[in-house]
Amino acid sequence: MTTSTKNVEGNCEVFPAYEPFASGPRIKLPKYGSEPVATGGGLAVAEAVEAYKSLRSKLMKARESRGMRSMVITSTAHSEGKTLTAFNLAYCCAQLEDTPVLLVDADLRAQGLTALTGNQQQCGLRDVLGNGAPYASATVASDVPGLYLMGAGEGSESPAELFSGAGWSQLIAWASESFKLVLVDSPPIGIVADFNLIEAGCNGSLIVVRAHRTTQRALEEALGQIDSKKVVGVIWNEDDRRPEGYSYNYQKA
């Protein structure tokens, strides 16, 4: 697949999608056991892997039926598992044949995804939005075939200011043409203004809630603050009704 891209500096170039990153350095993702899939306890659990694959199937069906290629993964509050869910879901989707995935750390304050993946390269999302860095220079391939990362990057500009410009929607448009799926780890809903700006540039939203932590009221308030047409579903995280304590259930909103 070939596409014409345009970075925020206005320079156009034509290249096969995601090919520029194939020959560059590959970041080594954290691995737990035989799979680069993490759980809250830092162990690769077969049941968790299968749960993510089940979630992947439902997500890809929603993607095909609703034409969604860019999705925000968020939560109602901090520490509900959204970053871990984004990482694991991106890995599982990249396992599918001919499904290159771009995983973006848009939670520029916490930068949890950047820390989790070890993607500490200097150029990242902040550099693209704030300094006009070329998209390719902020994108790095991982050692998992088909999985590409864009870290938070460096800078002092306010995240809300960065996302309020045209650069964010331009980046998502490029990424949606260059990759089969774009997953964005965003700040929680309602805590900062960033989320609504990030969501506006994407096709869909997935909300992660945590068993025994997220209240029904918090979820209802969160759903009331986002575009209902974009809500793909709610991911129920860490359901302890299973003996192993790991459950990643999907509920269509």
Q: Is residue 201 situated within a structural domain?
A: yes
Q: Is residue 114 situated within a structural domain?
A: yes
Dihedral sign of CA atoms 18, 19, 22, 25 in order: negative
Has residue 10 got a pLDDT over 70? no
Q: Is residue 151 situated within a structural domain?
A: yes
Q: How confident is the model at residue 68 (pLDDT cuts 50, 70, 90)?
A: confident
Q: Is residue 3 situated within a structural domain?
A: no
Q: Is residue 236 situated within a structural domain?
A: yes
Q: Is residue 32 situated within a structural domain?
A: no
Q: Give the count of domains, the chain.
A: 1
Q: Over the chain, what is the mean pLDDT?
A: 79
Has residue 171 got a pLDDT over 70? yes
Has residue 181 got a pLDDT over 70? yes
pLDDT at position 54: 82
Q: Is residue 182 situated within a structural domain?
A: yes
Structural domain span for residue 94: 43-251
DSSP states along the chain: -EEEEE-TT--EEEEETTGGGTTS-EEPPP-BTTBS---TTS---HHHHHHHHHHHHHHHHHHHHHT--EEEEEESSTTSSHHHHHHHHHHHHHTSTT--EEEEE--TTT-HHHHHHT---S-SHHHHHHH---HHHH-EEESSTTEEEE------S-HHHHHHSHHHHHHHHHHHHHSSEEEEE-PPTTTSTHHHHHHHTSSEEEEEEETTTS-HHHHHHHHTTS-GGGEEEEEEE--TTSTTS--EEEE--
DSSP states along 83-125: HHHHHHHHHHHHTSTT--EEEEE--TTT-HHHHHHT---S-SH
The percent of residues above 90 in pLDDT, for the chain, comes to: 40
Q: Is residue 21 situated within a structural domain?
A: no
Q: What is the CA radius of gyration of the chain?
A: 17
What is the per-residue pLDDT across 81-100, written as a single tens digit (0 to 9) for each? 899 899 989 998 998 998 99
Has residue 39 got a pLDDT over 60? no
Q: Which of 18-22, 30-34, 85-89 has the lowest mean pLDDT?
A: 18-22
CATH of the domain at 149: 3.40.50.300
What is the per-residue pLDDT across 96-146, written as a single tens digit (0 to 9) for each? 998 999 999 999 999 999 998 887 777 899 999 999 999 988 999 998 889
pLDDT at position 49: 76
What is the per-residue pLDDT across 192-228, written as a single tens digit (0 to 9) for each? 889 999 999 999 999 998 877 888 888 888 888 888 8
